[in-house]
Structure 1
Amino acid sequence: MDILQAVILAAIQGLTEFLPVSSSGHLVLPQALLGWEDQGLAFDVAVHVGSLMAVLWYFRRDVENLVTAWSMSVFRGQKTADSRIAWMVIVATIPAIVAGLLFNDFIELHLRNGMVLATTTLVFGVILGIADRVSNPHRRIEDIGLRIALLVGLAQALALVPGTSRSGITITVALLLGLGRSDAARFSFYLSMPIIAAAGGYKLLELLQGGSTGEWLPLGIGILVSAVTAYACIHWFMGWVERIGMLPFAIYRVVLALIIYAVVLS
């Protein structure tokens, strides 16, 4: 992997990881159009590390409050709004972890192809636009209970299918369950932290078992570029989500899906 390729792929990963679009849908295009080989497991780990650094830093105060409140609820029995949110993040993370352990090999063998990618990008993009249009915000993030957490968690598990978009499907379900755009996005970002850490850790384990680490310079660039672009993306998205809504992203996904279909079928 040369430096330019590392910069482009890391920037794509950072920009699309947290938006309700498909990061895998974007990564397949430069590979198909420019003839690039798969970036490899080491680079995958690197950009996951960068994305995780970005979201942790952006929500560092929230993370500190949630971890502290959760610890107090466990060791001292003190229940607060923050401890409730922390527990719901844990509950919503479990389905994706379980699904990943059970179905990762099946998904890699049977669902990681262009037609699946284009179809899921299109279908879940349309559903995102519908959810934004018909949603009736009447809950805040503090109101998330066990039922909502489980439903959003099951949606996150579905995002293991390429093209679904983890942030897209979790925001979609949260909107349909009555959360406003900002709270739906915030809960989705909270969920991203443990799931990105788990995915990155799983890939790192595979990497260590394979005995290959890759070249250090592209990996370092991957971490840096994905971290910077992901942080900028989160900052922009959280500042604009209430005003722009999800329709632009839904339209964008439809266009992206058509491009992927064209590339796959050509």
Structure 2
Amino acid sequence: MSIWEAIILGVVQGLTEFLPVSSSGHLVLFGQLFGLKEPNLTFDVMVHLGTLIAVVAALWEEVALLFAGLQPLGEGPGAERVKAGRRLIFLLIIGTLPAGIVGFLAQDFIEQLFSSVTVVGAALLVTGGLLWWAEGSTEGSKVMDKMRPKDALHIGIWQILALVPGISRSGTTISAGLSRKLTREDAARFSFLLSIPVIAGAVVLQAGDLIDAWNQGTWGPILIGTLVAALSGFAAIRGLIHMVKRYSLRVFSYYTWAVGLLVVILTHL
């Protein structure tokens, strides 16, 4: 892998992991473009680590609350923060379980989908439809502090759709959050927080193979790709939070429809 390929794929991973356009779908498409039929395992793990760093840095206040929830429950003003942290951890666990269970049980089937560019194109069309539908929902006023377990479960069930390459994880979870009457900003923030166990799980599951994959590529491009993924991911998170408060997400519908339609047409020529 060249440095330029690492930079491009790092940008793609960082931006599409958090923008509602599907990171898995774009990595499949760009992988085909660069002829990377077999993704470099080391690179895959490291760019995921880069996006994990991005979400921790961009949402440090919420991440610090999660760490507070891991502390012993004492007395005094700090006790309320610990309780709030534990509550947020509980919501994230509930939101993560549905896709985690389905992903484990249907792992072989899901892996087969990644070999089909046509599936990616069709799924991008679905992503555009979800975003268009979500923008038609009545704007809610519920903040994360007022979320209930059933809200997190609802969002988690929707996240199952994102196991299909081409269906955006952030797009489905933000749409689900809006359908549960979360504020636009908090729907986005909870979606990004929900990416932490997803990305961390992917890194942990693959990290054991890093030594075996050491010779699959040079570390210079890999480290550059990781840094680029972290920086572009941070920019994507901050940018989307700013955008959802002021503008419509339907611009991403137009984008995913255009790319999805182009992919479907080209694969059938």
Task: State the TM-score, normalizing by the size of structure 2.
Answer: 0.89
Partner of residue 59, structure 1:
59
Change beyond 3 A, Cα 1:140–1:52: same
Native 8 Å contact 2:25 2:167 kept in 1 = no
Partner of residue 136, structure 1:
139
In the TM superposition, residue 207 of structure 1 has moved relative to its aligned partner by 4.5
Whole-Å separation in 1 of the counterparts to 2:231 and 2:26: 18
Comparing 28-37 with 215-224, greater Cα deviation is found at 28-37
The one of 240, 255, 259 equivalent to 2:258 is: 255
The one of 74, 95, 98 equivalent to 1:95 is: 98
Whole-Å separation in 2 of the counterparts to 1:135 and 1:151: 17
The answer to whether 1:196 aligns with 2:199 is: yes
The answer to whether 1:150 aligns with 2:153 is: yes
Change beyond 3 A, Cα 1:28–1:262: farther
Comparing 182-191 with 55-64, greater Cα deviation is found at 55-64
Partner of residue 243, structure 1:
246
Native 8 Å contact 2:95 2:153 kept in 1 = yes
Partner of residue 29, structure 2:
29
Cα deviation code 1:52-95 (max 9, x no counterpart): 0111111122211232135355x778674443222101211122
Native 8 Å contact 1:25 1:260 kept in 2 = no
The gaps in structure 1 that reach 5 residues or longer are: none
Partner of residue 45, structure 1:
45
Q: Show the 5 A alignment for 1:74-223.
A: 80-110=83-113, 112-208=115-211, 214-223=217-226
Native 8 Å contact 2:122 2:261 kept in 1 = no
Change beyond 3 A, Cα 1:220–1:211: closer
Whole-Å separation in 1 of the counterparts to 2:117 and 2:210: 25
RMSD: 2.2
Whole-Å separation in 1 of the counterparts to 2:110 and 2:215: 23
Cα deviation code 1:187-206 (max 9, x no counterpart): 00110111100012222234
Partner of residue 229, structure 2:
226
In the TM superposition, residue 5 of structure 1 has moved relative to its aligned partner by 0.6
The answer to whether 1:7 aligns with 2:10 is: no
Native 8 Å contact 1:181 1:245 kept in 2 = no
Change beyond 3 A, Cα 1:99–1:39: same
Change beyond 3 A, Cα 1:18–1:207: same
Whole-Å separation in 1 of the counterparts to 2:23 and 2:235: 16
